[in-house]
């Protein structure tokens, strides 16, 4: 292991795979990923939007990404789109993944839930409020309605 930089970035060499991985500590991870995202078009033969077409290939049957780098790039590229996709994947299957849905709505409730709703509508041509109201019930529905500002 050798340090590269002043703020704790380290390079780890995996001898068996003969590859190098860059590990980023939380002190400057966001700026580092943004910098990497800005450099992405020069390093890849296709644009970020084309990568979205490949996302399904990197998901397990439950819709969870197997490629964490893809999640980070998607979040930096369009956080609203990422959270709209998280909301959709938590509702679309039989039964609701309440943990995933709650986490997505609570983390964005104060920041930009209106943007997430707009992106959700543009992607799925369906109102996010209506979708979760149809899929949930009882106290959980009232809880989400309060967070989203939906009138019952």
Domains and CATH numbers, the chain: 79-152 (1.10.220.10)
Q: What is the pTM of this model?
A: 0.48
pLDDT value at residue 30: 63
Mean pLDDT of 52-67: 50
DSSP state at residue 110: T
Tell me the torsion sign for CA atoms 140, 143, 149, 151. positive
Match 């292991």 to its residue by tokens: 1
pLDDT value at residue 125: 92
């Amino acid at each position: 292991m050798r340090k590269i930089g002043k703020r704790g970035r380290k390079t780890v060499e995996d001898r068996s795979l003969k590859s190098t991985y860059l590990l980023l500590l939380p002190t400057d991870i966001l700026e580092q990923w943004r910098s990497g995202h800005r450099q992405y078009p020069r390093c890849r033969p296709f644009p970020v939007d084309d990568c979205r077409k490949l996302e399904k290939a990197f998901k397990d049957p439950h819709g969870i990404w197997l490629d964490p780098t893809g999640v980070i790039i998607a979040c930096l590229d369009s956080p609203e789109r990422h959270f709209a996709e998280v909301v959709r994947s938590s509702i679309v299957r039989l039964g609701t993944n309440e943990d995933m849905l709650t986490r997505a709505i609570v983390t964005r409730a104060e920041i930009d839930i209106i943007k997430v709703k707009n992106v959700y509508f543009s992607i799925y041509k369906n109102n996010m409020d209506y979708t979760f109201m149809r899929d949930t019930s009882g106290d959980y529905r009232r809880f989400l309605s309060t967070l989203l500002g939906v009138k019952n």
